[in-house]
Structure 1
């Protein structure tokens, strides 16, 4: 004689599984503010997710991200709770400051970057070297960052770019209005790299196009060339 076995309804089984193994059933979701030096690959590795999932959740068409950008992080493993806790800890280091804070020497050292200053730097790179090789675009951004770090120039990105010395604009695009043109994706990538410390010039403070006659610039020691541009200290 067979003994009848009582079966649980499916929904009861699922409910019990969620109670016993919540981290295996639910994926954590939280926000993360991009910092200088970040990439989708690094963020994915840090929080146990994938680049493709990051792009899908955030509707990204490329791997390009910029400092100050807010990403939604959706983890897919049982380490979700730990990842969420780590994300909150990391974000607390950057969200206490204003989103419009100007980058200063101290901010550069701490890795804090405002979206507006990032965009300004990328627009200058576009205006000065948009038609030049990528190394020249990196070098233009590096000159701005080197000036911020130097005691010879103002100590913020905005002040460096808009500096007028003895009636002379330091950067021509500010004078002719080209600084207001939108930045290219390539210039944004270059800005992100130089904010993370990239400097192909090894400390250049000036640059010019070949063929100029400015005696001051021509007297400076050349430290890097790229395309039609020369970079000096």
Structure 2
């Protein structure tokens, strides 16, 4: 009888160990190193600082060397590339902060209930009868992005949810829509006005 109980316990232990390994294989864990900050870790993995704190049940930004942090899921490589191509096409020649702000507008739309739920759907959205972004219309979105555009996307991903909620941007010298000009301005960076 004791032998059967031991065998049953051993089987249960092995089964639980296997399940734990499988679950942990799908989760990314980061071991904190000297010089790490939540911001740097968020940028490294392309995840929001807010999500990083939430999944690790953090109320502050203090980290300890050797501490293990769970990394929330990030966007796919395809979505990151698509967003970088949009940033490159829309904000070429703009300051780095303007590039980050363009990427942030797309992420804010993904998170907003009145817009599509994915980066691809937001970028290719035609709900107003025309493409929301000029580079989609004129094909410049198909050009390879710069390294700076990728860095801007990483910054925007880490910054996600922390900004002023911009949902639109336009160049006041070329924008023809009075509707977009009627939106509340959140910030002006370079040649772009950002609004919500």
TM-score by length of structure 1 reads 0.54
Instruction: Tell me: higher relative CO, structure 1 or 2? Use CA pairs within 8 A at least 6 residues apart.
Output: 2
SS in 1 for 2:98: helix
Match of 1:226 in 2: 189
Q: Does 1:153 align with 2:115?
A: yes
Match of 1:164 in 2: 126
Instruction: State the structure with more CA Rg.
Output: 1
Deviation per CA, 1:2-58, whole angstroms, max 9, x where unpaired?
xxxxxxxxxxxxxxxxxxxxxxxxxxxxxxxxx8xxxxxxx7x72579xxxxxxxxx
Match of 2:90 in 1: 128
| 8 A contact 1:200–1:224 mirrored in 2 | no
May I ask how many residue pairs the two structures share in their alignment?
A: 144
* Cα distance change, pair 66–185 in 1 and its aligned pair in 2 (3 A): farther
Instruction: Name the structure where helix makes up a greater proportion of residues.
Output: 2
| 8 A contact 1:138–1:198 mirrored in 2 | no
Match of 1:46 in 2: 32
Ranges in structure 1 where 5+ consecutive residues have no aligned partner: 1-34, 36-42, 50-63, 69-82, 94-109
Structure 1 residue 196: Cα displacement = 1.2
Match of 2:24 in 1: none
TM-score by length of structure 2 reads 0.64
Ranges in structure 2 where 5+ consecutive residues have no aligned partner: 1-27, 36-42, 48-65
| 8 A contact 1:67–1:115 mirrored in 2 | no
- Cα RMSD of the aligned pairs, angstroms, is 3.1
Moved >3 Å (runs of 4+): 64-68, 198-201
Distance (whole Å) between structure 1 residues aligned to residue 169 and residue 180 of structure 2:
8
* Cα distance change, pair 125–165 in 1 and its aligned pair in 2 (3 A): same
Structure 1 residue 135: Cα displacement = 1.0
Match of 1:112 in 2: 74
